[in-house]
Structure 1
Amino acid sequence: METEETVKEGLVTASKAKSIWLAFVDIVLFAVLSMIFLFLFAIPFALVFPELKTEVGETNIYFQMLNEVLMLVSGLIAACMVLGFRKLPFSGLGLSLKGWGRSLLRGALFVVFLYVVGFGLSLLLGAVEVVGFLFSPISLLVSLLLYFFVALTEEVIGRGFILGRMLDGGINKFVALFISAVLFSLMHLFNPNFAFVPFLNIMLAGCFLGASYIYTRNLCFPIALHWFWNWIQGSVLGYKVSGNEFSNENLLILHFPEENLINGGTFGFEGSILCSLLLVLGTVIILRHYYKGLEIKD
């Protein structure tokens, strides 16, 4: 009897190990297919619209928007192929629109709360100064659209497929959240002025953005968080976003008395230790909210 139980346990362990291994194989396959499709889609656009690429050191906001759309389409096609091959439902990506309005509002308000705290502390500590204002409705709206595509693309890839595939593979949800967050940070490895604190903060951002997803398997709230986090940081407050500056027509014009770990320097707010603390706080609040929700249901 003990021998049969031992054999059964061994089979279960082997099956679980295989599922986990296949999840990582699928993530690599997804990455390769996404890059292939992106390359194939980008070639004709680069030939037909060479003017979208501006001078060295500058990033045309419309070129960036096109790039995000092509990345999104490439990622969705790659995801369909991999999930279809494994006979896994496409719905596992979490693109259901159920409760999207409420998620959008909650995400926006939560991000505003975090920035009121973070930017307020930066001002009080003298790490940043507001030296001017520039109200450009067109620029704000265009950048809002750009950051929507950034959020949608990165959430489909980082949370929808990578984190979702690990969860489907049987990996512990918190382990999967951490691994996906590390991979998310590594996706930004070639961003300007990337260093240890930016790496840490983008990893924490991955945990922050994925915290609700491990409970809901729905991307509406993570997309809202990501969307307004970037837009408020860049277009409203005037920081660089993950080291990038997509527009010089931001609402606030900032001056740093000196570049340090409080204001984030040339990487933007995501290079600051204030950002680290806020992301940890935000992640804890989200995890606590959904964990308490499960307790109530139980």
Structure 2
Amino acid sequence: MFFWTMLALSAASGIFAIIWYARHDRPVWRSMGITVTRWTPLDIPVGLVIPFVAITLVFLAELALGAIEVAGADTDWSSIGGVLGEIAGFALFEEVVFRVLLLSGAIILLRKVPAGRWIAVAATALIFGAIHLTNENATLIGAFGTALGGVIYGVAFVATRSIWLPLFLHISWNLSQALWGFPVSGNTQWPGWLTSESIGNELLNGGAYGPEGGIPGMLSRVLIVALVLVYVKLIWRDGSAATLVYAPDPVRRDRSPAAGNEHATAPSPSHTP
């Protein structure tokens, strides 16, 4: 019931955003992140690399702390295509629901509130974490760790005004956990190149929920947020972490003959949704 309630809330938020952008003569789909930009070819590899490095560090840290043990290696890679497809499909679904729809509407609602973008990111991240309480092996601590993931994807979405960076951060985070043999938000159906078993204190390894429920995993998510902010700052030098304003607002293309084939772009980051 909770899942369907949150899905309905996201749909309503997305419809609100679509209507608002249309009424304010804004390009609807580009304003909601459904767009390919000049930075998309860079967003994709950056989104893949950062979580893989972070999860690898978590694996090494938990191994050094004695919080996990490697039980074996999986040499059967015949199902890797299906695993990749499932992980990518789940990530795409969640990014559309929680960022493209839910977060887009929240940003508009809070556009005149100080730190409104951060509040929107935090609120939708908490909902994102809460909905994972329905997962197998879920715990409150694990859901909080998942909410930190919602902060990562929300910051990436708001800062870039595009779905690509958060989508590939999400895919890589889940895939990297599976590859190192960790449970992925309580799910264990995806085989990796290792099989890792949690031992000892669950605050270190997250127990059956996976690294998201452990301190090393949570710290790695804070690190990822910081790296995402560094990345977007390198692209948009005038951007601000305080306001989460980096990429300029999408504007309608000028289709007048005088405009030729050039596209209108905002000269600098803007504070409107």
Q: Secondary structure at the match of 1:258?
A: coil
Instruction: Work out whether 1:282 is the aligned partner of 2:224.
Output: yes
What is residue 120 of structure 2 aligned with on the other side? 176
- Alignment of structure 1 residues 1-298 onto 2, 5 Å: 31-32=7-8, 82-86=16-20, 88=22, 89-98=28-37, 99-169=39-109, 170=111, 171=113, 172-234=116-178, 236-247=179-190, 249-258=191-200, 260-291=202-233, 293-296=235-238
Of residues 147-156 and 257-266 in structure 1, the stretch that sits farther from structure 2 once superposed is 257-266
How many angstroms apart in 2 are the aligned matches of 1:80 and 1:194?
28
Change (3 A) 1:85 1:290: closer
Fraction of identical pairs, as percent: 26
Tell whether the 8 Å contact from 2:128 to 2:146 is kept in structure 1 after alignment.
yes
Tell me which structure has the larger Cα radius of gyration: 1
| CA deviation vs aligned residue, 1:85-129 (integer Å, no higher than 9, x gap) | 546313332121334332221111111210221111111111111
Which AA in structure 2 matches 1:91?
R
Change (3 A) 1:79 1:174: closer
Tell whether the 8 Å contact from 1:197 to 1:273 is kept in structure 2 after alignment.
no
Q: Secondary structure at the match of 1:212?
A: helix
| CA deviation vs aligned residue, 1:246-289 (integer Å, no higher than 9, x gap) | 23x43211233335211111111111111111111111222243
Change (3 A) 1:84 1:124: closer
Pairwise CA RMSD:
2.5
Which AA in structure 2 matches 1:210?
G
Tell whether the 8 Å contact from 2:32 to 2:100 is kept in structure 1 after alignment.
yes
Q: Secondary structure at the match of 1:165?
A: helix
| CA deviation vs aligned residue, 1:23-54 (integer Å, no higher than 9, x gap) | xxxxx9983287xxxxxxxxxxxxxxxxxxxx
How many angstroms apart in 1 are the aligned matches of 2:124 and 2:36?
23
Which AA in structure 2 matches 1:284?
A
Q: What is the CA distance between 1:194 and its match in structure 2?
A: 1.9
Change (3 A) 1:112 1:29: closer
Structure 1 runs of 4+ with >4 Å offset: 78-87
Which AA in structure 2 matches 1:124?
A
How many angstroms apart in 2 are the aligned matches of 1:180 and 1:269?
21
How many angstroms apart in 2 are the aligned matches of 1:215 and 1:257?
38
Tell whether the 8 Å contact from 1:147 to 1:227 is kept in structure 2 after alignment.
yes
How many angstroms apart in 2 are the aligned matches of 1:295 and 1:96?
22
Q: What is the CA distance between 1:295 and its match in structure 2?
A: 3.6
TM-score normalised to structure 2 length: 0.74
Unaligned runs of 5+ in 2: 23-27, 240-267, 269-273
Change (3 A) 1:131 1:245: closer
